Amino acid sequence: MVDRLANSEANSKRIGVVEACFGTAGQPLAIPGRVLIGEGVLTKLCRKKPKARQFFLFNDILVYGNIVIQKKKYNKQHIIPLESVTIDTVEDEGDLHNGWLIKTPTKSFAVYAATASEKTEWMSHINKCVSDLLEKSGKSPTGEHAAVWVPDSEATVCMRCQRVKFTPVNRRHHCRKCGFVVCGPCSEKKFLLPSQSSKPVRVCEFCYKQLSTGATLPSRSDSYNRQSSEISSNNLSDDDDDDDSSD
């Protein structure tokens, strides 16, 4: 079905419309063989809070952006090559339902669909695109993924030492290896994680020890269980201290 559509006029027209919605700040999206599989609004769990984002699934990339005017204008375009994507379901919790993780070597995050059937549809389409791409290229799936950042609001105290309470002075930091929200003293060290940056990045004390002794860590999905005891509505709007790539 995808192949049949690949060069259809209707499909290139749709891609042209998407391209136009992002305006000149976006990348050109129309390339030979590219197919727009689906599109829709998903809630992306960002560092501060969940935000609505417009997503476009193509057969080779996933594109998303901020919604300026629904169906007309989007900005802050992000393009994720699907070849390096792995997805994982997320259990429903609190107000967040129908979610899954989008994991890539450089960045990983959770998104939520409006309904369970939408979630199933997105996940199966993404998986199909990824496996088709890998089959075509003969590559194997990406092994390493960037940590999914725990949202700021889920930690009132440092998730490593459990002692330092976050305030406008004791600011939150994110370990780039485990994604935990940690205090300054628990994340003084940096470590080179080549898939994320060419420069050493902030890691917590625990991960630093693991990384520097070469021990392997449990995968992030094992530690993604939200600890409800740490959820707090007291979400201090501290300024971003780290380079927050998670918009």
Residues near Zn ion (CB under 5 A) are 158, 160-161, 164, 175, 177-178, 183, 186, 204, 207
Give least dist CB 203 to Zn ion, A.
Answer: 5
Nearer to Zn ion, 44 or 160 (CB): 160
* Cα–Cα distance for residue pair 244/247, rounded to 1 Å: 6
Give least dist CB 184 to Zn ion, A.
Answer: 8
Give least dist CB 170 to Zn ion, A.
Answer: 9
SS3 58: strand
Residue 190: name the closest of 243, 150, 239 by CA.
Answer: 243
Nearer to Zn ion, 29 or 204 (CB): 204
Nearer to Zn ion, 82 or 207 (CB): 207
Nearer to Zn ion, 72 or 163 (CB): 163
Give least dist CB 171 to Zn ion, A.
Answer: 12
Nearer to Zn ion, 126 or 178 (CB): 178
Q: Which residues of 138-169 are buried (b: 16+ CB within 10 A; e: fewer)?
A: eeeebeebbbbbbbbbbbbbbbbeeebebeee
Residue type, 204: C
* Cα–Cα distance for residue pair 244/240, rounded to 1 Å: 7
Give least dist CB 191 to Zn ion, A.
Answer: 10
Residue 153: name the closest of 225, 96, 223, 237 by CA.
Answer: 237
